[in-house]
Structure 1
Amino acid sequence: MGEMINSFILESGFANMGVKSILMILIACVFLYLAIKKGYEPYLLIPISVGMLLANMPGADLMKAPTDGELGGLLYYLYQGVHLGIFPPLIFLCIGASTDFGPMIANPKTMLLGAAAQFGIFFAFLGAILLGFNGLEAASI
């Protein structure tokens, strides 16, 4: 019986875990706790922590690229959405759709604050151009 348990433990992925994987899994669990229980930025922390858990899952080869006759790992295919530029617009679309416009409708003067912020961005860009920065440098400012 002991030999069977020992064989099971040695053949599992957890026997192949290193200290770095264990540390990252613990950090992912802390992020999940903070997002779910404490409510700290759940839109960010839940996907980050789930990705950390999947990437550090022992022996799963989730980032493996496809080869002849074999499929790639799950995260490889999910990463294609990032690589091809599909996910960032979807993320901004979802965040925009979940925006609560109730306070702005109740106090329309606050729309002026949003407009002033947009004008500030354009003024900073134009000011950087006038100071001699190129377009990419001015955009980063």
Structure 2
Amino acid sequence: KAALSAEKELEGVKSRLFKGRDGVTLRISEPFSRAWRLVGLALDRVGFMVEDRNRSRGVYYVRYNDPMDSGAQEGWLSKLAFWKGEKVDEAALYQVQLESVGNDTQVRIADDQSQDLDNDTALRILTLMKEQLK
């Protein structure tokens, strides 16, 4: 029942990817409080393990947990063709940073030192999250 509720909550959320001079971001058309929960659900569904979180700073600290390594069924990563042949560094700790922007919430991906990831890696991770917010 909880899984069905979470799935229903993720349905129909409007989000857009932006590529600019300052990197790649995902803009979610929801206020921070709701976006915080939605991002947490999306991270779980695409195979990221939340190691820690700091809601007041708007940061999830995550590692990628490859569902294929545990013999699980094919996950979202393997369904996206552009991901094939390229792996997220499973040892790396990533920061998923949320920030209020008016009535929306902006999501950015950084490394464990709060430095923005390269655009390709950030785009792959944010695209996976966006897919969950449809």
Task: Using structure 1 for the length normalisation, give the TM-score.
Answer: 0.24
Choose between structure 1 and 2 for higher RCO, CA contacts under 8 A separated by at least 6 residues.
2
Larger radius of gyration: 1
Considering fraction of residues, name the structure with more strand: 2
Structure number having the greater helix percentage? 1
TM-score (norm 2): 0.25
